Amino acid sequence: MVVAASALQPDAQENLGRCLGEFWRGLIDVIKGDRPRGVEIPLRGQQDYILGRAEATQAILPDIDLNRYGAHEKGVSRLHCHLRYEGDSLMVVDLGSANGTFLNGTRLTPERPMPLSENDTISLGSLKVQVFRKV
């Protein structure tokens, strides 16, 4: 998994996280065979993140590359959705993805931000990401 590198030291990242409100994290549920496996991706140190799958010829790469989790096979677009902080809220925005972004089973309208709540599930194609706060 590739998470965009931050030039900030861990203490500076934590201070920035406090400025953004509570820490947010994403949990990607990956199914291997018949058993789910959780992988935590911290959402700290940046104001916004693009989720998708990276290809060598892309001019713009996603901040979080989901290729390791079978992104192509599960219908994840190269630039699928955008997570961003607005005040103390975390928002999700579909970026016009081919297979859609779903919030708790409801398809999002492209380019329309929707607020995320504790334990919400975002589906990028058939790859699911659960959002939770770390207190």
pLDDT 10s digits, 72-109: 999 999 999 999 988 878 899 999 999 999 999 999 99
pTM here is 0.76
* Helix intervals (H) in 3-103: 10-19
DSSP3 helix / strand / coil % (the chain, rounded to 5): 10, 45, 45
pLDDT in tens, 21-39: 455 555 455 544 444 566 6
